[in-house]
Chains A and B, each alone.
Chain A
Amino acid sequence: MTSRPAPRATACRPNEQAQRTGKCASMTSEPLDIHHAAASPRLDHLLIAEMVSHGSRVLDVGCGDGALLQLLTDTKGVDGRGIELSRERVNACVARGLSVIQGDADRDLADYPDDAFDYVILSLTIQATRYPKTVLENLLRIGHRAIVSFPNFGHWLIRAQLLFTGRMPMTANLPEPWYASPDGHLCTIKDFADLVTKIDAEVEDAVAVNARGRRMGLKRSIRLQNLFGEKAVFVLKRK
């Protein structure tokens, strides 16, 4: 890691940052709702926790401050591990008793053996990886199931910002200007669904969350989800 020049962040938590700074809140249509819904524990964390079965083996890639791992340990009794790029966050995780290593999703997932975990989670991180497709393939190799959440770049507000301002969109989920954002591989829900078929995986479950923090099952219309979903959570498995 230290020998690599400027490694890509794998652990960007844009909405956390927004919560900390309050920045960009005025740029969303319903900023307060989503922020309140996401406050401790975060809404996407609760959604993921619902999808994880009790006592399972879980690897959280880009685990940040360990909030999700802690939630899964406390509520689901999982055997949880984490990978996180930021040294400070890793140290904080270990100091609170979580099994976390400093590492990089792009590079370190290759070390793990096949089928080592029941779930491998990539929470709001895939857009910050350098090789999202390889990362996704590794997730499905290592885990029986992969749970991936990401900010939906197809959301109407983002579309509208680009259309009407002609500038890169900035929202509560994407609070950084283009030059400071670690998110090099943003995608829409449709894009992600395409990638899933490309890597020969299947969607077992999928949920989008709208600006009010309301869940929208993807089983309905993917076009609508892609327009109104701010974030999406996919559960994938190998075909």
Chain B
Amino acid sequence: MAAIDPRQHPDLIERAAHSLAPQTVQRLREAWTPSSKVVRFAGSPLALDGGSRLETFQVAYETWGELNADKSNAVLVCHALTGDQYVVGENPVTKKPGWWETLIGPGQPIDTRRFYVICANILGGCMGTTGPASINPATGMPYGLGFPVITIGDMVEAQVRLIDHLGIDQLFAVIGGSMGGMQVLEWCARHKQRVFSAMPIATAPRHSSQNIAFHEVGRQAVMADPDWARGDYHGNGKVPRNGLAVARMAAHITYLSEQALHEKFGRNLQNREARTFSFDADFQVESYLRHQGSTFVDRFDANSYLYITRAMDYFDLAAENGDVLANAFRGTRTRFCVVSFTSDWLYPTRDSREIVQALNAVAANVSFVEIESNKGHDAFLLEEPEFFATITGFVNAAAAHRGLQ
């Protein structure tokens, strides 16, 4: 397995940059040469669930804390649909704080003074790990729709290569919320011996029909935008802004509860005294969603959005295991902590309960808590003291069992 820094092999990037619009090159800089650590794999292709292979690929990742001498204190964080590897510290693109600083960092429930925390951008992403915005070595141009359709399992296999590269045999913990939780489950199903403890949070063992439906709305919004150009928008320097923004707006609604929206906005008007009798953003909630849409477009690649939502739609852990979810966990020795939130209607508690039932069916070591919250699916990213207490207790007990200080 050769692992080389792509920055030492810039020919491909230079050639692509030469034939693309300057604003495209600027936009794809993080996808090609991320600000984070990056490892490039060549000579050992990644075989994908869809049947094709990636001959070469790179994984962009970030780490915090120190790996201990026997490499037993590594925690892998799996990010969600639009997340990235910048869990802690300023995000180089948005300049905002890391997306899980509530949970991870010095003195936090997952303490970076104690654990070696790793987070990699997912396969198919646009923050440095190979995805549709990366340069296809065969054409010298961004993959676009030439990128193979991937699965959650493929994302995990790319992470496995990174963990191998870091010389870590067994991860002390794998944690993730939402799509990150799907990766956690896939890790536990495919690489049982390599996961000492697992925290799948606000997630599901499969994408429901409703989940797929929302994603399809988002994808159709992107594809209906003429600037999408069948995925080949990099050449002309444009991006399907409107389509991707609408996709994000629709998705954002699913991340919040009705109560959270009501409490935040109600029917309040946006910077005006009365209705304008137009299609302007009269209501605060409209203005909020438009803002969410437009800021998202600035940081995310439209094709990545298509590929990652597809991977989520294809996720069905039971189907991968003879239609019996428990089969996915048979023989597991991993300690599980499953967490759901009461107002999460995207991946409701019954989805987590299904995971727990499957784990019970193989007598796995499992904790399961439902956290009372009115914040909807996004609760897992927000200030929820009871959630933090749960994770702290679970992690400390698991660390004691693992013999960690």
Contacts and interface: CB of A to CB of B under 8 A. Distances in A.
Interface residues of B, number: 30
Interface stretch (B118-126, B186-194, B354-362): B354-362
Contacts of B372: 87
B304 to A, nearest CB: 35
B393 A87 contact: no
Interface in B351-405: 353, 356-357, 360-363, 365-372, 386, 389-390, 392-394, 396-397, 400
Contacts of B338: 101
B394 A94 contact: yes
A91 B371 contact: yes
A101 B356 contact: yes
Nearest to A81: B365
B121 to A, nearest CB: 31
B322 to A, nearest CB: 16
B349 A101 contact: no
A116 B397 CA distance: 22
Contacts of A113: 361-363
Contact of B369 (A87, A111, A116): A87
B365 A79 contact: yes
A140 interface: no
B393 A94 contact: yes
Given A91-B389, A91-B390, A98 B367 contact: yes
A111 B371 contact: no
A1 B371 contact: no
A98 B367 CA distance: 8
Given A2-B349, A91-B390, A111-B361, A97 B396 contact: yes
A101 B363 contact: no
A33 B335 CA distance: 41
Interface in B211-225: none
B337 interface: yes
Interface string A78-90: 0101000001001
Interface string A90-132: 1101111111111100001001110011000000000000000
A94 B367 contact: yes
Contacts of A81: 365-366
Contacts of B365: 79, 81, 99
Contacts of A94: 337, 367, 369, 390, 393-394
A103 B368 CA distance: 9
A99 B367 contact: yes
A3 interface: yes
A117 to B, nearest CB: 7
Given A91-B386, A95-B390, A97-B393, A112 B369 contact: no
B262 interface: no
A101 B361 contact: no
Interface string B116-147: 00000000000000000000000000000000
Contacts of A98: 367, 393, 397
Nearest to B386: A91
Contacts of B393: 94-98
B392 A95 contact: yes
B53 interface: no
A3 B370 contact: no
A222 to B, nearest CB: 35
A98 to B, nearest CB: 7
Contacts of A2: 342, 349-350, 370
30 contacts: A1-B349, A1-B353, A2-B342, A2-B349, A2-B350, A3-B350, A87-B370, A90-B369, A91-B369, A91-B371, A91-B386, A91-B389, A91-B390, A93-B367, A94-B367, A94-B390, A96-B393, A97-B394, A97-B396, A97-B397, A98-B367, A99-B335, A100-B367, A101-B356, A101-B367, A102-B368, A111-B361, A112-B360, A112-B361, A117-B363
Interface of A: 1-3, 57, 79, 81, 87, 90-91, 93-103, 108, 111-113, 116-117
Given A2-B342, A99-B335, A99-B365, 12 more contacts: A1-B353, A3-B350, A91-B369, A91-B389, A93-B367, A94-B369, A95-B389, A95-B390, A99-B367, A108-B357, A111-B360, A112-B363
Nearest 10 interchain pairs by C-beta: A97-B397, A116-B363, A95-B393, A101-B368, A111-B360, A95-B389, A94-B367, A111-B357, A91-B369, A97-B393
